[in-house]
């Protein structure tokens, strides 16, 4: 990646629409028509004033059919799914369907934009099924324009506790929750952009010795309590040292700048982009400038006053960001600023790292 362009007023990109490699309308026109209709119906739930939810526009049988179809697409992809820049990288969404659509209004929609999502589509918010089904339908319709990775909340041990199980139970019955878990077990664990930018939900692992380590993970798979799968979904960066540390979460690890630098050298990559933690500006550059955390919905759980952001990579792998500022919260909300997680402990250096990533400018 070049820092020269990022040191200017912004990372500029000449917009050149790409022709999708796979035109579903030609390969399977009936499926394309079905997906177009599904996407249209789901979009009616955006800013809907009548209190409608997905139950008003999709039956349980249709949802299961879509799940079965997208499962095959996930299994056709590598566990390290690969995409080429230009592309935009999206962090946690957490069932905030309205905010996801507001984000699309800002950054653009598939197929005009190519997007890679880093997981955590469900839990915490009220519309996890809506979020997942919109993204699944987009994946079926434009499979080479959107890439969906797995987050730690796409596991049964987590989403049974933090809201998705109850949401499924209320809207369609418990059975459909099991169908979603079957699908989540088939989602790719990581992504690779232009051979040089590694993406995952959580972070690095002591067991991650090369990129084939990820490619060779068998699927379907369900992360248990430790090991590579857990680390890819759960580990966190830290600015407290260079090595590996016990996680304050009580699961997986925390890793320092030295671990990131060694991983980049060993795997011949330039940058790591991950999600998993709320950050105040929607993005945070780790000390060392080799890792970015991105979080893509604002006012997370009404507990934080954070902005949302996406990381943009142009064709030259120059990085920039698009940011969606948080709206007002109810007076009763006791929200606070999200803490910094792994930025440089030197205030001036942390400021310089933040300013290294310039606002996205579309020419």
SS3 sequence of 133-171 = HHHHHHHHHCCCCEEECCCCCCCHHHHCCCCHHHHHHHH
Asked whether the beta carbons of 316 and 196 are under 8 A apart, the reply is no
117 pairs with which residues across the strands? 90, 148
199 pairs with which residues across the strands? 191, 273
Instruction: Please choose, from the candidates 201, 199, 203, 153, the residue with its C-alpha nearest in 3D space to the C-alpha of residue 342.
Output: 203
DSSP 40-88: HHHHTTTT-SS---GGGT--HHHHHHHHHHHHHHHHHS-SEEEE-SSEE
Helix (H) / strand (E) element for 237: namely strand 236-237
The sheet carrying 253-255 orders its strands as 236-237, 253-255, 244-246
Beta strand 11-13 with 283-285 is unpaired
Q: What is the rounded CA–CA span in Å between residue 207 and residue 226?
A: 11
Active centre residues (catalytic): 153
Q: What is the rounded CA–CA span in Å between residue 248 and residue 315?
A: 38
- 357 Cβ contact list (under 8 Å, min separation 6): 6, 283, 285, 292, 311, 319, 320, 321
């Amino acid at each position: 990646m070049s820092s020269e362009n990022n040191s200017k007023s912004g990372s500029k990109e000449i917009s050149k629409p790409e022709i999708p490699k796979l035109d579903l309308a030609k390969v399977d026109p009936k499926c394309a028509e079905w997906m177009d209709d599904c996407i249209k119906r789901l979009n009616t739930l955006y800013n809907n004033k009548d209190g409608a939810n997905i139950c008003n526009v999709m039956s349980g049988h249709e949802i299961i059919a879509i799940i079965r179809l997208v499962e095959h697409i996930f299994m056709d992809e590598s566990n390290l799914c690969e995409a080429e820049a230009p592309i935009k990288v999206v962090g946690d969404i957490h069932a905030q369907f309205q905010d996801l659509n507001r984000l699309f209004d800002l950054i653009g929609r598939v197929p005009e934009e190519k997007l890679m999502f880093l997981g955590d589509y469900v839990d915490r918010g009220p519309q996890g099924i809506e979020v997942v089904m919109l993204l699944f339908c987009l994946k079926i319709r434009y499979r080479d324009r959107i890439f969906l990775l797995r987050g730690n909340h796409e596991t049964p041990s987590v989403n049974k506790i933090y809201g998705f199980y109850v949401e499924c139970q209320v809207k369609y019955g418990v059975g459909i929750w099991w169908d979603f878990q079957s699908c989540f077990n088939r989602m790719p664990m990581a992504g690779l952009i232009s051979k040089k930018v590694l993406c995952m939900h959580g972070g690095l692992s002591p067991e991650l010795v090369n990129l084939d380590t990820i490619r060779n993970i068998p699927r379907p798979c369900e992360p248990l309590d430790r090991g590579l799968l857990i680390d890819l979904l759960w580990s966190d960066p830290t600015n407290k040292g260079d090595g590996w540390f016990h996680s304050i979460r009580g699961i997986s690890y925390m890793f320092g700048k030295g671990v990131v630098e060694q991983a980049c050298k060993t795997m011949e990559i330039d940058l790591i982009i991950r999600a998993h933690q709320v950050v105040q500006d929607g993005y945070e550059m780790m000390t060392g400038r080799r890792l970015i955390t991105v979080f893509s919905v604002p006012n997370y759980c009404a507990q934080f006053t954070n902005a949302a952001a996406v990381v943009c990579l142009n064709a030259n792998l120059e990085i920039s960001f698009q940011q969606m500022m948080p709206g007002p919260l109810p007076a009763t909300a006791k929200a606070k600023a999200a803490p910094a997680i792994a930025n440089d402990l030197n205030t001036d250096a942390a400021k310089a790292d933040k300013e290294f990533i310039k606002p996205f400018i579309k020419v």
